[in-house]
Structures are given as C-alpha cells and as structure tokens.
Chain A
Amino acid sequence: KQEVTQIPAALSVPEGENLVLNCSFTDSAIYNLQWFRQDPGKGLTSLLLIQSSQREQTSGRLNASLDKSSGRSTLYIAASQPGDSATYLCAVHTGNQFYFGTGTSLTVIP
C-alpha cells in the first residue's frame, strides 16, 4: 500500500525566508502528485499538480519538483509571507485513489 510522509510536521520561519517542504512516497508507480494548502477549519486548495512524466511545476512564488525514481517531491516557497501560514499537504494518485501525507504546518513570523 502506498504510504506518504511529510517532514517536518511543523516549521516556523521569519518573513522573507525561502523554504522547502518535503514529501516522500513508497511506491513510484504514480499518475501524479498534487500539493495542497489547508487553512484551519477549511477545505484543501490545490496549489500545484505534477504529472508523472514531469519534473517540476511553477506557480508564482511556488515551485514543486518530482523525482519518481527516488519517491520524493519538494515544494519550494520563495520569499515567504505571513499569509503563507497554513498546513501544506501532498497527495499521490495511483490510478484509483489519492494517498495523502499528514502535512507540514507552516508559520511565517512577521
């Protein structure tokens, strides 16, 4: 069964710092990997989707990379802002289901 791990579970950084969130998965047979943001008590908002044939995707200050062979993805956030404070989750799609990590809770300190 696919297992998805996100480390660290929590991260605090000062405003303006660049940061990297990590996501690892045990089975490399995936269709895609998706990064989400979740604010407290809210649903998930899709940030970036990387297809299995792609190496990276970019949207504004966000850049996500995918290394299927090693079972890893990273989400790079440039010039962090207090509004980036949220929980970030990654999910992999295996053809039938999505498997989620437990998330990284990010706090950006003004």
Chain B
Amino acid sequence: DGGITQSPKYLFRKEGQNVTLSCEQNLNHDAMYWYRQDPGQGLRLIYYSQIVNDFQKGDIAEGYSVSREKKESFPLTVTSAQKNPTAFYLCASSTAAGAYEQYFGPGTRLTVT
C-alpha cells in the first residue's frame, strides 16, 4: 500500500523538552510538507522540502526544525523555543511537478504540559 505514515498518533511531553515527529512516505514524491492545525485556524505551513537535502521555512517556522536526508523521510523537531507547541501536526507529500496533488498522513496530536 502506498501512503504516508506518521508516528506516533499521540505524543505527550513536558514543557522544555524537544520532541521529534516522524513522517515517512512511499509514494516516491519529491516534495514533503509539515502543517500545524489549531481549532478555527485551518492549516498553517511550518516547513516544506522539494528535494533531498533542501527545505524552506513556511509561515510559522519559528521554534521548529526539519531535516531531509532521505526522499522518503521528513522528520519535524518541535523545540523548547516553540511557545505554544500543543497542536495537531500533519505531514503531506506531493509531486514537485505536474499535478502537484497533495496527500496527507493521519496526523500526530502533540500535547505539551
């Protein structure tokens, strides 16, 4: 089955700790994205990558970091500098040319207390 996996589904952390969210895709897509979803605010872009070893900041990159060492993987680290990290995080991928149809993973709900 082709698709995007995110793990874990639920994640709990204490304030001040860094945490890394996993995203893996087997769709052979070049582009990958991380979004944050908060109630009433829609999806906001954190980081995106259109090719291995390259990524760009989205609208709300402060307090987050990413890496893209492999085409299939795009992990997101939520650092202690992120002031309000509790949210639903969604990973997506698409082709980097042509139709650009975007596919999403099931999401990770992060709760920081």
A: residues with CB less than 8 A from B are 31-32, 34, 36, 41-46, 49, 51, 89, 91, 93, 96-98, 100-103
Contact = CB atoms under 8 A, between A and B. Distances in A.
Q: How large is the interface on B (under 10, 10 to 19, 20 to 34, 35 or more residues)?
A: 20 to 34
Interface string B38-49: 001111010010
11 contacts: A32-B101, A36-B104, A43-B107, A46-B103, A51-B99, A89-B43, A91-B102, A93-B100, A93-B102, A97-B48, A102-B40
A31 B97 CA distance: 10
Instruction: Give the secondary structure class of B's interface.
Output: strand
B64 interface: no
B55 to A, nearest CB: 12
Given A43-B106, A43-B107, A46-B101, 16 more contacts: A31-B100, A32-B99, A32-B101, A34-B101, A41-B109, A42-B106, A43-B6, A44-B90, A45-B104, A49-B101, A97-B45, A97-B48, A98-B45, A98-B102, A100-B35, A100-B43
Contacts, number: 54
B105 interface: yes
Contacts of A100: 35, 42-43
Contacts of A51: 99
B33 interface: yes
A102 B107 contact: no
B58 interface: yes
Contacts of A36: 104
